[in-house]
Structure 1
Amino acid sequence: MADPVISLVVERTGDLLVQKIVFLKGVRGHVERLQNDLVRMRCFLKDADQRQDEDARIRNWVSEIRAAAYDAEDIIEIFASKLEFFTKDKGLVTKLTYYPLKIVNLYKIGKEIESLRMRLNDIADSREEYGINNLGEGMTTHGEELQRIRRSSPFSEEKDVVGFGEITKSLVAELLKEDKNRRVVSIVGMGGAGKTTLAKKVYNHADVRARFDCRAWVCVSSSYNHKETLRTIIKQLYPMTNELLDMLEKMQEQDLEQRLYQDLQDKCCLVVLDDVWKEEAWDCLAKAFPDVNTSSSRLLLTSRNRDVAQHADARSKPHELKTLGEEDSWQLFLGKALDHGANVGCPRDLEEVGREIVRRCAGLPLAITVVGGLLLGKKELKIEWEKVLNSFNTNLSKSQSGVSAILELSYADLPPNLKFCFLYLGLFPEDSVISVPKLIHMWVAEGIMQKRDAKNLEETAAYDVEQLFSRNMVQVAEMTVDERIKSCRLHDLLRDLAIRKAEDENFFQIHGTRDDKISAKPRYLAVHSLSLDKNYFGTSTPPLRCLLFFNVRYYRKNISLIFKSFRKLRTLDLENVKMGYNLPKGIGEIRLLRYLNLRGTYIRRLPHSVGCLRNLQTLDLRTYDTVRVSNFIWKLESLRHLYAHEMLCDVPLKIEGLRNLQTLSGIRFEDVMHNNMITLTSLQKLRIRVDDRSKIDKLCMHLSEVGSLKALGLYRTPGRGWPQSLAGLSKLHHVTELQVSGRDLRMLRPDFPPNLSRLSLRSTSLTDDPMPALEKLGQLSFLKLESTHWGPPHMVISRHGFHQLKFLELSRLYALDEIKVEKGALPQLQCLRIKYCFDLEKLPEELKDISTLDTLELVDMPEYFISGLDADLVSSVPNLRIFDSPEERMQ
């Protein structure tokens, strides 16, 4: 599909027609004709998409269409917003007063749309002027050419392979296993990670050659041809004759499938399916591979898409190719870049620049191979190596078989919404660890999921993150206990690709140095460095939809933004930006704003004008201080997520009636009690500030009818003690997750939500062992105890205690010196994480008897503790991970 931005904008204009039909009915015909023009233009762009990489004229032409599409959406949404203001929630007299303004605005939008349609017609007519005719006729597309170059063969096996020793052994062992059912052994990884290289190594392994009578290798690729693939496999199973060739050419698909099916039953054969992109390609091939009584033949599959591998054989866990470590990368580089190979080592004067080149390759074997091969043809002179380093991206891109071309195939295969999401990741700084919840809120604000169920937009966005991960377009930085992606990062070379594509399409600009000039064209702007000049945008302000600030925490001066200049903004991220204590009242001018992040700022007060932001979906007020707000929150009818440490209002804060609100954090006990919480029909997560006057039993009764509520957090207001009792929690049948945080909580009552599965106790002052009370929670699967001040020196988990617990974390329990686990306890435990428990002498020996224990993580524990680990325990746990700091866990 041509241009992801245009595709999404066309969809969104249709959505706007549906959503704002009441306010646009006076110009509905104009809007529908405009949308039809855009749809026709998008259909034509399918051909242009394949050629715009090669032809600047086509690229410019597509850019004009994109700008017009953006303007179309802006015009419709801005005017709909104005008309909505004139008519919604107004009395009859007010509506009559505003009626002339409504008529004027309807006339204006009609004129604007007609002008835009004329502009689109002019763009369409300009094809001849640009020399753009008969696109796609009789020519090989860029994508097809890349696919042809990438077609693999098993015969050119790499000699200088490093880092694949263990995984090769594992793959060979799995292929040689006896099994009567069809098994598909899979290798997955991002483009250029070495999947094909590894498959060749396995294919040509001595044990594999000895075991299988015949072997066949076929490159499937994204442009999959079923007939040709079947013929290619069959040709490798028999000596080639003219009769066989003639017969195969005449056979239909069904006959070829039947022939291959019979051949594989009679032979002991290994078939490699290299570079499988789609599940549909496997489904076609699967019919030709016997699925029972096939103990002799085996399949080895490589793919960039983890879902394809799991779809082919759900019982086999794919072998994932990670990027190379620092030393393996260096050895591979030396083997490719030096005439004498890696054995002699690197000349001393070249080592520094050589290691910097390797660092820029970020562990990707293909990048190292391409750059190493480039250096091999040059003299071993420092000046030559520095030239290659200084033009690193150019060197990787200029060869059709280079890294950029290979990664580009993965990008080209993405559907429009995922292309948009991938490009969006390029806005974040290099090596950023990106919070997935934050990313999800941003994507929802961008409206790329509007055609799906409005209540599940966040789930849809989370699925898109999973899809990018599954396709190896993003890397996981941290997973949650229930194996959802908590944070991610973008490989440096993929980030370069995203930036290059985005710049080609005028999608975004990165303001990366103080000397950069901000262009008037981009709709998305990421500020990575602030200019000393306060006039950041020069004489003209770009028509921004998204403005993000990064790495500006230590900028000395307060920044100032004239908000009325950014009326088209949907996303504004001011995290860690220094901008004074009061948010300017001009923020209310940005009526289309959907995402506002003030986290990490020093803002203490929000103006009443924030109540004008009727489209706002996410408001993050986790600032360095308590935030004072006027009583306007109830007006933010689109609000889905409100985050704060604590909000103060001079009167009881009204929130009832917010039917879209899913997350509410930082609200005081008194404000909750003054609202009819049943009206918050979408509320799932609630975090409340409590103090010594709060009546928890009354709170629980008040919340007991909020059926959507799943997660509850109780936090002590600083300087005020805990309520006398936490009684009443057992009334909350819907709550499955509970967090309790704050000093002066000295004891626990056995009174918890009956369906509780996740519990976190943080910064408490428990004097007694909490385990006897907690281990009886029948459905508890996740338990985290963190920063218990003073606390008990001993903890005892009794026999059959925590019979459903899968994850246990003990963190910063400074007084804890002993843990006892009785035999039969923790029968389902999968992961034990211990962090900063400096007085803990040893782990209980009984852990080695827990057969389900898969992972033991030890973070910043004393050296004597690590050296004293029981050898039998260490050998019984499949995954032992020892980290010196939390940052290491992210690697």
Structure 2
Amino acid sequence: MLSKGSQICIFKGKLRYLKDFLEDFVRSRGDHGKVKVLERQIEDSVNRAEDIVETYLYTVRSTAKSKNSRRKECKIFQEGLKQVIEEIDSVKKEAIEICGNPCDPNNLHSGRYLFGSSSWHVPSSGNPVVGLDNDLVKIKDQLTGLPYNLEILTIVGMAGIGKSTLAKIVYDDPLIVYHFYVRAWITVSQDYEVKNILIGLIRSVAQLTDDISAKYDDSEQHYKVLKDGINQLSDQKLAEQLYRSLKGKRYLIIMDDIWCNTAWDDVKRSFPDDKNGSRIILTSRLTEVALYVNSGSPPHHMRFLSVDQGWELLKLKAFPKQGCPLELEEIGKQIVEKCQGLPLAIVVVAGHLSKLSKKRDLWLSVADNVGSLVARNREQFLNIIAMSYNHLPHHLKACFLYMGAFPENVEIPVWRLITLWIAEGFLKRELGKSVEKVAQECLEDLIDRSLILAEKRTNERVTTCRMHDLLRDFCLREAEKESFWHVMRRHDLFFPEGLQNHRRLCVQSDIFSYAITEYSNPQVRTFLSSNFSTRLSFLSESVFALMGFRLLRILDMISYYFNHFPTQVLKMVHLRFLGLSTSGELPAASSKFRRGSGKWYLPFSKRSELPVSISNLVNLQILIVNWGWRENHCLPFDIQMMTQLRHIRLKGAVVYFDDLFLAETNRANPLVLSNLQTLLTVSSTNFSQKIVSIIPNLKKLGILVPKKNDEHPTNFLNYLSSLHCLETLNLSFSLQNEKSSTISQWNAFPPNLRALTLSGSHLPWEEMVIVGKIPSLEVLKLKDHAFSGQVWEPIDGGFLALKFLLLENNELEIWRSRSTHFPSLQHLVLRLCDALVEIPRGIGEIPTLQIIELYSCGHSAVRSAKRIHEEQQSIGNDDLEVRINLIASRIRSVVFFLFLDPMLVNMPHQQYLMLTLKFE
């Protein structure tokens, strides 16, 4: 009998052959129907092989057995794998009969080269806007004209016709921004909760971003508390809070995608009518909803695009950088006609065309298919998306279907999506590229095809994305049909029958409160959960034993809290992705944990550690743990054995390398974590050259300086110069560092550093000259008195590559600057800069500048921003955008609830402490 390794190699080789053969057939013939059955047979065989291999490995690693037992297990393994190899041979024979012999010259085709590869990237220009000029004029007149009474405008049309696009353009129009003192946007959707609508509007009004609330600094602690504690208010209290936030102000509210009358009835009393010209815009697919909301005024019905408008839209999307060849123009207009004027249909088809070779026969094929697919019926329209989906490479299909795991209208953090793709193993390895780079290119490819929407970009990189609801409907339908996902929706309270064939399960409901003992599936490989209840949910680690998860690769349960780190997960030896939240208690059996010495700077914090046995998870690539409190967590030295680790993100915790770990790094030949890309956040206390030497390929690093413990607390920074791959560095100094630090002796910056965040460092402004010398620096964020002093005077020759600058919470009063000081700046953000007198006029003269944002700054600084905007407009620069929000600085008092750790105050979980903050 062949050895286990030989059998696996044979199996992998046969799979690789079949995969390439079928992909070539689809590319050359475009016949997807013939290969669907074959793909399903191959998938079933692969799943059986995975079960055989991973069950064997689980048994070997997790249990101690006798020699005879192991021999028996090995025999079962080999016989099972041999049977699967025979199944693959049978599929191969059937594939050749259906598709033809690949060695036959008549069956060879150049189709391999007809489609752009997934790594080919055309920079996204966004969805162009065509045919809305008249709509814009009409809507803007209604918003800014008479009467002064509160008016409600409704926009109605089918899915994909451009309702939200029109509303968004109006919302961001400079005239509208200037006209309304307050603007807020909320997407309602079908599965809405009144509380979430109210909270969303309150946060939109107050502009409480995640970036503001994620602080180590007590001076901004109220933002975090407001964000967390507001969830505990009743609907009535929230409605009153929203009413007070809007009272006396001219406001514009957009309520996007309303599906029923009750959604309006539930919130309408929160909108005061002060007869000052306030307006509300509602978008809906249902005319009856629009008429119910405002029976006295007819809704604005979206029109389909004309052929000329549609052709203009298709050209802009399909040929973003060059004109359309004349021989394709006639066919292109035929395609537009068959899309029947629906913008989303045109954009999706154009995204597909942009990836095809510019050949007449390929475009004719698209034109022939579109005619039978496009209709105003929703179900038929989904088939348009299927055409683009069917032509995706296999790995992009999996990436696309994965989007169905995320809830409707939710912004998805790109880093999380990409790490999940990596852990799933979807991505093709490419020579000279990290798997993260390949994932980013796959995301851009899907965006270019108009299958995913880029929601936010920072420094030209997509940071959050989402999916149009129509595309998401298709995604869910296809994922269920292919048994790729089963998604438990928000209101599902029981596991349905027949889930044994699903390898991935996503729970978006609070089902654990009801049916935890009713489901067990040891074959599940991916388990994602998103708890959308507004209350905190705690789980016992027994949930894992009950559900029988032995072979999990991905476990993402960030939205639930465990009372302590659940040791049950340490038995899941195949885990590649682990995401958990815990309140930070040590388990009762604390002997399983190794204790260290030392304290962190918070007086009530306790010392706890990652379990030593986490080193059993040798396949782990991504570790994300959200601790309820900021603690000083030790990394066990055995983590060095976890050479597959790529990303470590600890929130509410700081890693302190214990003595045993440091001893291991001092060995002659310590193991190197060469795959590690992200490490957030570590303590500077014992950060050394030895630590740096075992993480040579790190790209993102966060360091916290707990307290001033020697004359040069920034000495550890000198070790970073050997991190040649480091691109992002976050440095936070604790509250005890209120005196000025210095980096004057630190000139050895990591050579490829692109993004730097400094927080609480209290450096003198004169030392900004040192930061300005970083040659590749593109993003600079200065938070919480990163620099101290009232005057900042930059000099020429620095910040040559800087594109994004954030100044937040400082005492700066006078900023003297010319356009030559930041020659490449594109985006300036000022937040909580109360003392700043004005933004230098020279900033407005920077030719690359696109956006200036002010949040909670003084009136003088706001006036200077408006003056810069007016000056630039007067000389024809209409591209500069100025965004101003003063709401947060005007709040007089805020009532919030702070969840308290029962270990600290001896209170049950459901009890809370109510506090009131008052500030000017």
Which TM-score applies when normalising by structure 1?
0.59
1:165-180 → structure 2 map (5 Å cutoff):
none
Sort the Cα spacing of 1:652 and 1:794 in 2 relative to 1 into closer, same or farther, 3 A. same
Structure 1 residues 568 and 849, CA gap change in structure 2 (3 angstroms):
same
SS of the counterpart of 2:613? helix
Match of 2:655 among 643, 647, 672: 647
- Match of 1:576, SS state, is strand
**1:574 aligns to what SS in structure 2?**
strand
**1:416, 1:234 → 2: CA distance?**
27
Deviations 1:704-757 (A, max 9, x none): 89764555543123x665763424745615355443211316132322325355
Q: Tell me if the contact between 2:677 and 2:699 (Cα under 8 Å) persists in the aligned partners.
A: yes
Counterpart among 722, 727, 740 of residue 746 in structure 1? 740
Within 5 Å, which residues of 2 pair with 1:98-497?
100-114=68-82, 116=84, 163-164=132-133, 200-202=307-309, 275=350, 277-278=352-353, 281-284=356-359, 370=376, 396-397=378-379, 400=380, 402=381, 404-449=382-427, 452-453=430-431, 456-481=434-459, 483-497=460-474
Instruction: Please tell me whether the aligned partners of residues 814 and 838 of structure 2 are also in contact (alpha carbons under 8 angstroms).
Output: yes
Alpha-carbon separation, structure 2, partners of 1:108 and 1:74: 12
2:624 counterpart residue number: 620
Equivalents in 2 of 1:830, 1:82: separation in Å? 56
Larger CA Rg, structure 1 vs 2: 1
User: Which one-letter code corresponds to 1:854 in the other structure?
Assistant: Q
Deviations 1:343-399 (A, max 9, x none): xxxxxxxxxxxxxxxxxxxxxxx99x94xxxxxxxxxxxxxxxxxxxxxxxx521xx
Q: Which residue of 2 aligns with 1:791?
A: 788
Q: Identify the residue that residue 544 of structure 1 maps to in structure 2.
A: 524
Gaps of 5+ in 2: 101-128, 138-158, 166-302, 335-346, 368-372, 587-608, 889-920
User: Aligned partner of 1:550: which letter?
Assistant: S
**Alignment partner, residue 553 of structure 2:** 570
Please tell me the residue identity of whatever aligns with 1:501.
E
Q: Match of 2:456, as an amino acid?
A: E
**Counterparts in 2 of 1:633 and 1:25: CA distance versus 1, 3 Å:** same
Shift in CA distance, 277/528, structure 1 to aligned 2, threshold 3 Å:
closer
CA positional deviation for 1:853: 2.3
| Per-residue deviation, residues 601-654 of structure 1 (Å, max 9, x unmatched) | 646554443222221111112422434565431232322222223235764226
Q: Secondary structure of 2:562's partner? A: coil
Q: Residue 809 in 1 paired to residue 806 in 2?
A: yes
Look up the match of 1:72.
Answer: 49
Instruction: Give the number of aligned pairs.
Output: 629
Q: Give the whole-Å Cα distance in 2 for the aligned partners of 1:273 and 1:590.
A: 41
2:631 paired with 1:637: no
Give yes or no for contact 2:538–2:563 (8 Å, CA) kept in 1: no
Output the CA distance in 2 between the equivalents of 1:539 and 1:203: 50
Give per-residue Cα distances to partners, 1:295-319, cap 9 Å, x unaligned: xxxxxxx99xxxxxxxxxxxxxxxx
Note if contact 1:27-1:106 (Cα within 8 Å) is conserved in structure 2.
no
Pair 49,594 (structure 1): closer, same or farther in 2 beyond 3 Å: farther
CA contact (8 A) 2:829 2:854 kept: yes
- On the 8 A contact 2:680/2:702 being kept in 1, the answer is yes
Partner residue in 1 for 2:852: 856
Q: Which amino acid aligns with 1:596?
A: L
Counterpart of 1:715 (choices 684, 687, 704) is 704
Could you report, residue by residue, the CA deviation over 1:3-23 in whole angstroms, capped at 9, with x for unpaired residues? xxxxxxxxxxxxxxxxxx985
CA distance in 1, matches of 2:487, 2:642: 31
How far 1:851 moved relative to its partner?
2.5
Distance 1:204 1:231 in 2: 9
Partner of 1:878: 879
1:610 is matched with 614
2: CA distance between counterparts of 1:573 and 1:476? 23
Percent of aligned pairs with the same amino acid: 23
- Relative distance call for 1:167 and 1:203 in structure 2 (3 A) is farther
Name the structure 2 match of 1:504.
481
- Secondary structure at 1:821's aligned position in 2? coil
552 and 30 in structure 1: CA distance in 2 versus 1, 3 angstrom threshold: same
Cα distance in structure 2, aligned partners of 1:517 and 1:633: 37
**Cα distance in 1 between the residues matched to 2:675 and 2:93:** 49
The answer to whether the 8 A contact 2:818-2:841 is kept is no
Deviation at 1:597, TM superposition (A): 0.9
Inter-partner Cα distance in structure 1 for 2:840 and 2:464? 32
Choose between structure 1 and 2 for higher RCO, CA contacts under 8 A separated by at least 6 residues. Answer: 2
Asked if the contact 1:571–1:595 (Cα under 8 Å) also holds between the matched residues in 2, the reply is: yes
* Cα distance in structure 2, aligned partners of 1:124 and 1:501: 25
CA spacing shift, 1:854–1:673, aligned 2, 3 Å: farther
Could you tell me how far 1:872 is from its partner in structure 2? 0.8
1:566 counterpart SS class:
coil
Q: CA deviation at 1:812?
A: 2.3
Change in Cα spacing, 1:574 to 1:684, as seen in structure 2 (3 Å) is: closer
> What letter matches 1:882 in structure 2?
R
2:814 to 815, 818, 824: 818
Q: Which whole-Å CA distance do the structure 1 matches of 2:13 and 2:693 have between them?
A: 47
Q: What SS does structure 2 have at the residue aligned with 1:498? A: helix
- Are the aligned partners of 2:679 and 2:698 in contact in 1 as well (CA < 8 Å)? yes
In 2, Cα distance between equivalents of 1:800 and 1:34: 57
d(CA) in 2 for partners of 1:429, 1:109: 39
TM-score (norm 2): 0.57
Give CA-to-partner distance per residue, 1:564-606, whole Å, 9 cap, x none: 811221100010312211312x323322111101256646554
Query: CA–CA distance in 1 between the matches of 2:486 and 2:15?
Result: 28
C-alpha displacement of 1:530? 2.0
Following the alignment from structure 1 to structure 2, what is the Cα–Cα distance between the partners of residues 587 and 201? 59
In structure 1, C-alpha distance between the alignment counterparts of 2:458 and 2:83, rounded to whole Å = 51
Match of 1:771 among 768, 775, 783: 768
**What secondary structure is seen at the aligned counterpart in 2 of 1:882?**
strand
Aligned-residue RMSD, C-alpha: 5.3
**Mapping of residues 828-839 of structure 1, within 5 Å:** 828-839=824-835
Q: Deviations over 1:869-891 (max 9, x none)?
A: 2121465472314154999xxxx
The separation in 1 between residues aligned to 2:558 and 2:348, in whole angstroms, is 47
Amino acid at match of 1:579: F
Contact in 1 for aligned 2:731/2:758 (Cα 8 Å) = yes
Secondary structure of 1:544's counterpart equals coil
- For residues 691 and 509 of structure 2, what CA distance do their matches in structure 1 show? 48
